[in-house]
Structure 1
């Protein structure tokens, strides 16, 4: 895998915020497997306890139940930490349109709390989750850093503000920050339930249960779906990046482009199902097409994603087949 040979100084200690979530728990697992110490922080507002419990017996792991909106908690979490991987946030474009105040509080104030705590604690690198949604209505493909359009949702705005704070914290305070603009991440442990669930796990679960999934719009929208392993690689490589790379945001994707209707048909084939989808209205705030230029991350972070969409979807389907039973009751 793209990160198994990455090395950090002996005794390095990582903080993963949002560690009970999909991306956070995968980061915790990868870092523990590399043999380093990890502290997790989560308040379970969207994360799951079972994602934390699997690591409790590992002597290199400790967990703090707490909220990034409480600065004292952020200070406690950053104590003695070398690298912060800040994943805690509320996702979902449609939900942010319904709850803008909450998104301001968690995604902007919470991130600022974490940056400030990291600065005061002398953290070496602060890597944080941004989003492809910052490109807004910029029509050109592939999406390239520095060519952003008008924002289309409060969620996108919160991520743009986080990037601006990241830039300032590097420039004003010498905290090395690295923003990772994730493009449609999918893979094991991604929640298939709830009205705001991501499309791939939701489709897989519904098809396995013999239900007809709902496709928003005509299914002709395209996305740069990115398997979780590539995201782990990007986070760890950012922790090892040169100081000149700090203060910037980077596209983190595979660099491909999949149409939703094609993915649906691919899932049908893989699962041996014959189910017609339902088509619903296009979602407010959604971008029609998304595809990333990843050359900046390749050049500055040494990011070389190894997992194609095909490899990732195969692994994801396998995981959901084996774990859907345990997910349903949680």
Structure 2
């Protein structure tokens, strides 16, 4: 049994990961300030300890890390909104970079011995560069404070690993979707907002003409990737794309969702938004080299997502 910390563990990805880790018999500690997460998402288990706290509380985080000396640490807490980071760059920077740096410093100074520290970064770091698919070595062009913080924190993770011998690894998530995503959050993935509109028969606001393409990756595949990266010793001080390696336009993904749900999406179009990326597609060769294989294509994923919503 491993002792595992998940920051942002009441959120969509964190809580789904927690479910899986609990299922495998681990002891999980979750830190989440519930600004975007939901208590309802937490696993109902004796093996979960939940702290409603911000990772920006450095005193609290330092004490927690020293007291527990975790086997594995997943850093998923973030203010994951491009728009919010443009509105509040300093406040979001405190969460998206400084808090994670404090965690690294605590591990270094206190000589803690986690087997792996997994940091969740984002495909947003690539920006609008023309090269597709995006390889981990593709040019970086962060177009928002959110993307800047994600990239800078990646560099801290990789270089702390190399300089101080810490077992760090970073994921660049592409467009993750699935049950537990919060459509009310301004940070939410487009598919959770489409889902909500389908459930409520509301109008979906489409920014731009819908030709923008994305690499949508189902939550179960993301959890698989996180577990592989945490438990593969050679995956360290490095960055990995987490995606499917397939792309689909927003217009086509809406059509696919309509056929999965048997309902029509009511769409109203607006101007494209500042800082939004036009096209996104991952090269996942590097992650595949560790044994990762996405199992859920977008058609199957949307059907699973819709079924889960119906059960709710």
TM-score normalised by length of structure 1:
0.90
Aligned counterpart, 2:48: 61
Aligned counterpart, 1:92: 81
- Structure 2 runs not aligned, ≥5 long: none
Q: 1:118 aligns with which of 86, 92, 107?
A: 107
Structure 1 window deviating more from structure 2 (224-233 vs 90-99): it is: 90-99
Residue 43 (1) aligns with residue 30 (2): no
- Structure 1 runs not aligned, ≥5 long: 1-10, 324-330
| Aligned-partner SS, 1:213 | strand
* Offset of residue 275 of structure 1: 4.3
Note closer, same or farther for the CA distance 1:217–1:37 as it changes in structure 2 (3 Å cut): same
Q: Deviations over 1:79-117 (max 9, x none)?
A: 231000110111021221111111211100011122223
Note closer, same or farther for the CA distance 1:302–1:211 as it changes in structure 2 (3 Å cut): same
Aligned counterpart, 1:277: 267
Assess if the C-alpha contact under 8 Å between 1:87 and 1:128 holds in 2.
yes
Q: 1:23 aligns with which of 9, 13, 18?
A: 13
* Offset of residue 198 of structure 1: 1.8
* Offset of residue 63 of structure 1: 1.6
Aligned counterpart, 1:14: 4
Q: Residues of 2 paired with 1:132 and 1:124: CA distance?
A: 25
Q: Residues of 1 paired with 2:17 and 2:265: CA distance?
A: 35
Aligned counterpart, 1:328: none
* Offset of residue 25 of structure 1: 0.4
Assess if the C-alpha contact under 8 Å between 2:260 and 2:299 holds in 1.
no
| Aligned-partner SS, 1:24 | helix
| Aligned-partner SS, 1:19 | coil
| Aligned-partner SS, 1:143 | coil
Task: Give runs of aligned pairs for residues 95-110 of structure 1, distance below 5 A.
Answer: 95-110=84-99
**Residues paired across the two proteins, number:** 308
Residue 267 (1) aligns with residue 254 (2): no
Aligned counterpart, 1:3: none
Q: 2:121 aligns with which of 126, 130, 138?
A: 130
Residue 292 (1) aligns with residue 279 (2): no
Q: Residues of 2 paired with 1:167 and 1:149: CA distance?
A: 16
| Aligned-partner SS, 2:101 | helix
Residue 167 (1) aligns with residue 154 (2): no
Note closer, same or farther for the CA distance 1:263–1:41 as it changes in structure 2 (3 Å cut): same
Q: 2:209 aligns with which of 196, 213, 218?
A: 218
Residue 246 (1) aligns with residue 236 (2): yes
